[in-house]
Amino acid sequence: MPSLKSIKKRIGSVKNTRQITKAMKMVSAAKLRRAQENVVAARPYAIKMSEVLGRLSGNVPSDCSPLIQRREDSNKALLVVVSSDRGLCGGFNANLCKAADRFVKERKDDFSEIKIMALGKKGNDFMKRRHGVWKSHANILSTLNYQTAALIAQEIIDGYLEEEYDEVHIVYNEFLSVMSQEVTFAQLLPVTPPASENEEVEPREYIYEPDQAELLAELLPKHIEVQIFKTLLETVAGDHGARMTAMDSASKNASEMIGKLTLIYNRARQAAITKELMEIISGAESVKG
Protein backbone atom coordinates (compact mmCIF):
# COMPACT_ATOMS: atom_id res chain seq x y z
CA MET A 1 0.00 0.00 0.00
CA PRO A 2 1.38 3.49 -0.87
CA SER A 3 2.39 5.77 1.98
CA LEU A 4 0.05 8.36 3.48
CA LYS A 5 2.27 11.15 2.20
CA SER A 6 2.17 9.95 -1.42
CA ILE A 7 -1.62 9.47 -1.32
CA LYS A 8 -2.13 12.94 0.14
CA LYS A 9 0.16 14.43 -2.49
CA ARG A 10 -1.79 12.72 -5.27
CA ILE A 11 -5.10 13.99 -3.87
CA GLY A 12 -3.71 17.53 -3.93
CA SER A 13 -2.53 17.07 -7.50
CA VAL A 14 -5.95 15.88 -8.67
CA LYS A 15 -7.64 18.79 -6.88
CA ASN A 16 -5.40 21.24 -8.71
CA THR A 17 -6.27 19.56 -11.99
CA ARG A 18 -9.97 19.81 -11.18
CA GLN A 19 -9.61 23.53 -10.56
CA ILE A 20 -8.02 23.96 -13.98
CA THR A 21 -10.70 21.93 -15.79
CA LYS A 22 -13.47 23.84 -14.02
CA ALA A 23 -11.89 27.15 -14.97
CA MET A 24 -11.55 26.06 -18.62
CA LYS A 25 -15.18 24.95 -18.65
CA MET A 26 -16.32 28.33 -17.34
CA VAL A 27 -14.23 30.21 -19.92
CA SER A 28 -15.61 28.14 -22.80
CA ALA A 29 -19.16 28.50 -21.48
CA ALA A 30 -18.76 32.28 -21.37
CA LYS A 31 -17.43 32.41 -24.95
CA LEU A 32 -19.87 29.85 -26.32
CA ARG A 33 -22.94 32.07 -26.10
CA ARG A 34 -21.42 34.80 -28.25
CA ALA A 35 -20.03 32.25 -30.72
CA GLN A 36 -23.41 30.52 -30.98
CA GLU A 37 -25.15 33.83 -31.62
CA ASN A 38 -22.68 34.60 -34.41
CA VAL A 39 -23.34 31.24 -36.09
CA VAL A 40 -27.10 31.61 -35.88
CA ALA A 41 -26.85 35.12 -37.35
CA ALA A 42 -24.57 34.04 -40.23
CA ARG A 43 -26.54 31.00 -41.42
CA PRO A 44 -29.59 32.80 -42.93
CA TYR A 45 -27.33 35.15 -44.90
CA ALA A 46 -25.31 32.23 -46.30
CA ILE A 47 -28.48 30.32 -47.22
CA LYS A 48 -30.05 33.33 -48.93
CA MET A 49 -26.83 33.99 -50.83
CA SER A 50 -26.95 30.43 -52.19
CA GLU A 51 -30.59 30.89 -53.23
CA VAL A 52 -29.80 34.10 -55.13
CA LEU A 53 -26.89 32.41 -56.91
CA GLY A 54 -29.18 29.51 -57.79
CA ARG A 55 -31.64 31.85 -59.52
CA LEU A 56 -28.92 33.78 -61.33
CA SER A 57 -26.94 30.78 -62.53
CA GLY A 58 -30.08 29.23 -63.99
CA ASN A 59 -30.56 32.20 -66.32
CA VAL A 60 -27.02 32.71 -67.57
CA PRO A 61 -24.69 30.45 -69.58
CA SER A 62 -22.29 28.34 -67.55
CA ASP A 63 -19.26 29.87 -69.26
CA CYS A 64 -20.03 33.40 -68.07
CA SER A 65 -17.79 32.89 -65.03
CA PRO A 66 -14.89 30.46 -64.45
CA LEU A 67 -16.06 30.01 -60.84
CA ILE A 68 -19.15 28.06 -61.94
CA GLN A 69 -17.73 26.41 -65.05
CA ARG A 70 -16.82 22.78 -64.47
CA ARG A 71 -13.54 21.84 -66.10
CA GLU A 72 -13.56 18.75 -68.28
CA ASP A 73 -10.05 17.66 -67.29
CA SER A 74 -10.50 17.97 -63.54
CA ASN A 75 -7.51 16.15 -62.08
CA LYS A 76 -6.28 18.38 -59.25
CA ALA A 77 -8.12 19.23 -56.03
CA LEU A 78 -7.69 21.35 -52.95
CA LEU A 79 -9.00 20.21 -49.57
CA VAL A 80 -9.48 22.93 -46.96
CA VAL A 81 -9.33 21.45 -43.44
CA VAL A 82 -10.84 23.76 -40.81
CA SER A 83 -9.85 22.79 -37.26
CA SER A 84 -9.22 24.55 -33.97
CA ASP A 85 -5.86 25.78 -32.70
CA ARG A 86 -6.02 24.12 -29.27
CA GLY A 87 -6.68 20.67 -27.91
CA LEU A 88 -8.48 19.47 -24.77
CA CYS A 89 -11.80 19.42 -26.60
CA GLY A 90 -12.56 15.70 -26.80
CA GLY A 91 -12.79 14.18 -30.27
CA PHE A 92 -13.54 17.52 -31.97
CA ASN A 93 -10.28 17.71 -33.93
CA ALA A 94 -9.56 13.98 -34.04
CA ASN A 95 -12.82 13.12 -35.83
CA LEU A 96 -12.30 15.96 -38.30
CA CYS A 97 -8.72 14.97 -39.12
CA LYS A 98 -9.67 11.32 -39.57
CA ALA A 99 -12.42 12.32 -41.99
CA ALA A 100 -9.97 14.51 -43.96
CA ASP A 101 -7.43 11.68 -44.05
CA ARG A 102 -10.13 9.29 -45.26
CA PHE A 103 -11.16 11.75 -48.01
CA VAL A 104 -7.60 11.96 -49.34
CA LYS A 105 -7.20 8.18 -49.36
CA GLU A 106 -10.59 7.48 -50.96
CA ARG A 107 -10.29 10.18 -53.67
CA LYS A 108 -6.64 9.64 -54.60
CA ASP A 109 -7.73 7.69 -57.71
CA ASP A 110 -10.01 10.54 -58.85
CA PHE A 111 -7.30 13.19 -58.78
CA SER A 112 -3.65 13.19 -59.75
CA GLU A 113 -2.93 15.57 -56.86
CA ILE A 114 -4.79 16.65 -53.74
CA LYS A 115 -3.38 19.73 -52.04
CA ILE A 116 -4.14 20.50 -48.40
CA MET A 117 -4.87 23.93 -46.96
CA ALA A 118 -5.09 23.83 -43.17
CA LEU A 119 -7.01 26.48 -41.25
CA GLY A 120 -6.14 25.80 -37.62
CA LYS A 121 -3.07 24.40 -35.89
CA LYS A 122 -4.43 20.95 -35.02
CA GLY A 123 -5.45 20.13 -38.57
CA ASN A 124 -2.14 21.45 -39.86
CA ASP A 125 -0.11 19.26 -37.48
CA PHE A 126 -2.13 16.13 -38.34
CA MET A 127 -2.19 16.54 -42.13
CA LYS A 128 1.46 17.62 -42.30
CA ARG A 129 2.56 14.28 -40.83
CA ARG A 130 0.46 12.21 -43.22
CA HIS A 131 0.05 14.02 -46.50
CA GLY A 132 1.90 17.32 -46.31
CA VAL A 133 0.31 20.76 -46.22
CA TRP A 134 0.36 23.16 -49.16
CA LYS A 135 -0.64 26.27 -47.20
CA SER A 136 -1.74 26.88 -43.63
CA HIS A 137 -3.26 29.60 -41.46
CA ALA A 138 -3.01 29.23 -37.68
CA ASN A 139 -4.19 31.32 -34.73
CA ILE A 140 -6.97 32.99 -36.72
CA LEU A 141 -9.93 31.80 -34.63
CA SER A 142 -9.09 33.73 -31.46
CA THR A 143 -9.47 37.07 -33.29
CA LEU A 144 -11.80 35.99 -36.06
CA ASN A 145 -13.26 38.65 -38.35
CA TYR A 146 -14.74 38.82 -41.83
CA GLN A 147 -11.60 40.39 -43.31
CA THR A 148 -9.61 37.26 -42.44
CA ALA A 149 -12.16 35.05 -44.18
CA ALA A 150 -12.16 37.37 -47.21
CA LEU A 151 -8.36 37.14 -47.54
CA ILE A 152 -8.43 33.35 -47.32
CA ALA A 153 -11.26 33.17 -49.86
CA GLN A 154 -9.36 35.42 -52.27
CA GLU A 155 -6.27 33.22 -51.88
CA ILE A 156 -8.36 30.15 -52.75
CA ILE A 157 -10.01 31.87 -55.73
CA ASP A 158 -6.65 33.10 -57.09
CA GLY A 159 -5.24 29.57 -56.99
CA TYR A 160 -8.34 28.25 -58.74
CA LEU A 161 -8.19 30.85 -61.49
CA GLU A 162 -4.47 30.12 -62.00
CA GLU A 163 -5.46 26.44 -62.40
CA GLU A 164 -3.36 25.23 -59.50
CA TYR A 165 -6.36 23.00 -58.73
CA ASP A 166 -9.66 22.25 -60.49
CA GLU A 167 -11.92 21.59 -57.51
CA VAL A 168 -12.03 22.94 -53.96
CA HIS A 169 -13.59 20.98 -51.11
CA ILE A 170 -13.85 22.02 -47.48
CA VAL A 171 -14.29 19.91 -44.34
CA TYR A 172 -15.32 21.38 -41.01
CA ASN A 173 -17.34 20.67 -37.86
CA GLU A 174 -20.90 21.95 -38.16
CA PHE A 175 -22.22 23.21 -34.84
CA LEU A 176 -25.46 21.41 -33.96
CA SER A 177 -25.57 21.84 -30.18
CA VAL A 178 -23.27 22.16 -27.19
CA MET A 179 -22.76 18.40 -27.11
CA SER A 180 -22.98 17.66 -30.82
CA GLN A 181 -20.79 18.70 -33.76
CA GLU A 182 -21.01 16.97 -37.12
CA VAL A 183 -18.12 16.61 -39.57
CA THR A 184 -19.35 18.14 -42.85
CA PHE A 185 -17.93 18.21 -46.39
CA ALA A 186 -18.87 20.85 -48.94
CA GLN A 187 -17.67 21.82 -52.43
CA LEU A 188 -16.57 25.43 -52.71
CA LEU A 189 -15.40 25.54 -56.33
CA PRO A 190 -16.69 25.31 -58.91
CA VAL A 191 -19.78 26.79 -57.28
CA THR A 192 -22.73 24.43 -57.55
CA PRO A 193 -25.98 26.26 -56.76
CA PRO A 194 -28.45 24.27 -54.65
CA ALA A 195 -31.38 22.71 -56.43
CA SER A 196 -34.76 24.30 -55.80
CA GLU A 197 -36.88 22.41 -53.27
CA ASN A 198 -40.12 23.37 -55.03
CA GLU A 199 -39.39 22.53 -58.65
CA GLU A 200 -43.09 22.34 -59.54
CA VAL A 201 -43.67 25.95 -58.57
CA GLU A 202 -43.42 28.33 -61.53
CA PRO A 203 -40.18 30.32 -61.23
CA ARG A 204 -40.51 34.04 -60.53
CA GLU A 205 -39.12 36.65 -62.87
CA TYR A 206 -36.86 39.35 -61.47
CA ILE A 207 -35.45 42.53 -62.90
CA TYR A 208 -31.74 42.80 -62.13
CA GLU A 209 -29.63 45.90 -62.10
CA PRO A 210 -26.91 45.58 -63.35
CA ASP A 211 -27.43 42.62 -65.73
CA GLN A 212 -27.42 39.06 -64.41
CA ALA A 213 -23.97 38.08 -65.70
CA GLU A 214 -22.32 41.11 -64.11
CA LEU A 215 -24.20 40.59 -60.87
CA LEU A 216 -23.23 36.91 -60.80
CA ALA A 217 -19.56 37.76 -61.34
CA GLU A 218 -19.75 40.14 -58.38
CA LEU A 219 -21.60 37.75 -56.05
CA LEU A 220 -19.58 34.59 -56.66
CA PRO A 221 -16.42 35.74 -54.82
CA LYS A 222 -18.63 37.16 -52.07
CA HIS A 223 -20.33 33.77 -51.80
CA ILE A 224 -16.98 32.04 -51.24
CA GLU A 225 -16.09 34.61 -48.56
CA VAL A 226 -19.40 34.05 -46.77
CA GLN A 227 -19.02 30.26 -46.85
CA ILE A 228 -15.48 30.45 -45.46
CA PHE A 229 -16.57 32.87 -42.75
CA LYS A 230 -19.52 30.64 -41.79
CA THR A 231 -17.33 27.54 -41.50
CA LEU A 232 -14.91 29.44 -39.27
CA LEU A 233 -17.79 30.59 -37.06
CA GLU A 234 -19.11 27.01 -36.92
CA THR A 235 -15.64 25.84 -35.87
CA VAL A 236 -15.33 28.45 -33.11
CA ALA A 237 -18.73 27.58 -31.65
CA GLY A 238 -18.11 23.85 -31.95
CA ASP A 239 -14.69 24.19 -30.35
CA HIS A 240 -16.10 25.98 -27.28
CA GLY A 241 -18.99 23.52 -27.00
CA ALA A 242 -16.73 20.47 -27.29
CA ARG A 243 -14.21 21.92 -24.82
CA MET A 244 -16.94 22.78 -22.31
CA THR A 245 -18.33 19.24 -22.51
CA ALA A 246 -14.86 17.66 -22.26
CA MET A 247 -13.82 19.80 -19.29
CA ASP A 248 -17.11 19.06 -17.50
CA SER A 249 -16.49 15.35 -17.94
CA ALA A 250 -12.88 15.76 -16.77
CA SER A 251 -14.03 17.64 -13.65
CA LYS A 252 -16.50 14.88 -12.78
CA ASN A 253 -13.83 12.21 -13.27
CA ALA A 254 -11.45 14.19 -11.05
CA SER A 255 -14.10 14.40 -8.30
CA GLU A 256 -14.64 10.64 -8.49
CA MET A 257 -10.88 10.03 -8.31
CA ILE A 258 -10.58 12.34 -5.29
CA GLY A 259 -13.31 10.38 -3.54
CA LYS A 260 -11.58 7.05 -4.21
CA LEU A 261 -8.18 8.39 -3.14
CA THR A 262 -9.68 9.88 0.04
CA LEU A 263 -11.16 6.48 0.90
CA ILE A 264 -7.79 4.81 0.34
CA TYR A 265 -6.11 7.52 2.46
CA ASN A 266 -8.55 7.02 5.33
CA ARG A 267 -8.10 3.25 5.25
CA ALA A 268 -4.32 3.58 5.20
CA ARG A 269 -4.45 6.09 8.08
CA GLN A 270 -6.74 3.81 10.09
CA ALA A 271 -4.41 0.87 9.48
CA ALA A 272 -1.42 2.94 10.66
CA ILE A 273 -3.24 4.01 13.85
CA THR A 274 -4.30 0.42 14.55
CA LYS A 275 -0.72 -0.74 14.09
CA GLU A 276 0.58 1.88 16.54
CA LEU A 277 -2.05 0.91 19.11
CA MET A 278 -1.11 -2.73 18.79
CA GLU A 279 2.57 -1.85 19.32
CA ILE A 280 1.71 0.18 22.43
CA ILE A 281 -0.43 -2.61 23.89
CA SER A 282 2.28 -5.18 23.16
CA GLY A 283 4.88 -2.97 24.83
CA ALA A 284 2.65 -2.54 27.90
CA GLU A 285 2.05 -6.29 28.18
CA SER A 286 5.76 -7.02 27.95
CA VAL A 287 6.46 -4.54 30.78
CA LYS A 288 3.89 -6.26 33.02
CA GLY A 289 5.36 -9.64 32.26
The catalytic residues are 89
Task: For residue 230, give Cα distances in angstroms to 41, 84, 168.
Answer: 10, 14, 16
> How far is the C-alpha of 62 from the C-alpha of 190, rounded, in Å?
11
Q: Angle 92-106/212-288 helices, nearest 10 degrees?
A: 130
How many residues comprise the chain? 289
Q: Indicate the residue type of 269.
A: R
> How far is the C-alpha of 242 from the C-alpha of 181, rounded, in Å?
8
